[in-house]
């Protein structure tokens, strides 16, 4: 899509292709945080994005979702060029994300947090809201049912009227994902979803991610738990110092000498912080 809002022709039509990066770069002065990264993600698949501390993983997520603007290169989402779009525009197209550091609205209720996510898909305008038209009331009922359904799906429905700040760490993670799902995404980007969780919470999150994939959702996963990444990912991309150094399935990546030197050589079971 061009800056004037017109749809820009994308890569060759392929219904399976959800996300495509072409030579994406992000420079902060002399620092090349992301340098010429290219990969693609097919519909219904999980792509694991890994790399050592400082590799540029979260920066790349910020570029894909429009939180940062790229220095050069292209980002295509479902056949559209979204390189220059803002984050809210990309969200409306069907892309949602969570954050490395949990971002919830701590002083409002769990339910209101999820309702905020539904606004990306509401249709009633301000006039309908003021007049309380039938259409506005019906939509209000629909989004309320949807929000409660997502809380139920995430296993935190009983906490609907609690302030988000009162939730445990694991429940705040689930709330953040519920809010992202409320935007009705076709692509969900998860930035370290099990960071800080205990083993039982991790197992629950792994099952949830598998269920989300089973429902047809496409997922890009950043995670420092390598065993989890290897278990869940259909395809893995490895970056180091902002550069893609390898990609392939779990077995291929584990055997790649560049990956071993850069990351896995430090121990597959060892959890590293990432950015």
Residue 66: closest CA among 18, 37, 24 = 24
Mean pLDDT in the chain?
A: 87
pLDDT digits (tens, 9 = 90+) for 206-248: 999 999 999 999 999 999 888 999 999 999 999 999 999 999 9
CA dist 211 and 1 (Å) reads 32
Q: What is the pLDDT of residue 139?
A: 76
Phi and psi at residue 232, in whole multiples of 5°? -90, -30
Structure confidence at residue 13 (pLDDT): 57
Q: What local confidence, expressed as pLDDT, does residue 131 receive?
A: 47
pLDDT at 214: 96
pTM of the model: 0.84
For 97-127, the DSSP string reads E--SS----TTSBHHHHHHHHHGGG----HH
pLDDT, tens digit, for every residue of 62-84? Answer: 999 999 999 999 999 999 999 99
pLDDT digits (tens, 9 = 90+) for 80-118: 999 999 999 999 999 999 998 888 998 999 999 999 988
Average pLDDT of span 243-272: 77
Residue 265: pLDDT band with limits 50, 70, 90:
low
Residue 162 has pLDDT above 90, yes or no: yes
- What's the pLDDT at 33? 96
The CB-based long-range contact list for 17-20 (8 Å cut-off, 24+ gap) reads 17/41, 17/42, 17/43, 17/76, 17/78, 17/79, 18/42, 18/43, 18/77, 18/78, 18/186, 18/187, 18/218, 19/64, 19/75, 19/76, 19/77, 19/187, 19/218, 19/220, 20/74, 20/75, 20/76
Query: What digits encode the pLDDT tens for the residues 36-51?
Result: 999 999 999 999 999 9
Mean pLDDT of 241-266: 86
């Amino acid at each position: 899509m061009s800056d004037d809002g017109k749809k820009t022709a994308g890569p060759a039509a392929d219904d399976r292709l959800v996300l495509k990066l072409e030579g994406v770069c992000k420079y902060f002065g002399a620092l090349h945080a992301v340098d010429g990264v290219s990969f693609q993600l097919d519909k219904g698949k999980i792509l694991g994005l890994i790399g050592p501390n400082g590799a540029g993983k979260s920066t790349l997520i910020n570029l894909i979702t429009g939180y940062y603007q790229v220095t050069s290169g292209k980002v295509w989402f479902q056949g559209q060029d979204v390189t220059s779009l803002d984050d809210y525009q990309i969200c409306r197209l069907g892309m949602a994300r969570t954050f490395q550091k949990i971002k919830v609205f701590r002083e409002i209720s769990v339910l209101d947090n999820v309702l905020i996510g539904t606004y990306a898909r509401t249709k009633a305008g301000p006039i309908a809201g003021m007049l309380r038209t039938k259409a506005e009331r019906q939509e209000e009922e629909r989004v309320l049912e949807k929000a409660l359904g997502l809380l139920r799906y995430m296993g935190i429905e009983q906490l609907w009227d609690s302030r988000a700040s009162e939730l445990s760490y694991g429940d705040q993670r689930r709330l953040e994902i519920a809010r992202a799902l409320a935007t009705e995404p076709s692509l969900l980007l998860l930035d370290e979803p099990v960071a800080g969780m205990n083993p039982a919470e991790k197992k629950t999150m792994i099952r949830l991610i598998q269920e989300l994939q089973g429902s047809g959702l496409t997922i890009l996963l950043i995670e420092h738990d390598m065993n989890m990444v290897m278990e869940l990912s259909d395809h893995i991309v490895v970056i180091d110092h902002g550069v893609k150094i390898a990609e392939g399935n779990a077995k291929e990546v584990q055997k790649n000498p560049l990956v071993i030197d850069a990351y896995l050589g430090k121990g597959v079971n060892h959890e590293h912080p990432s950015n």
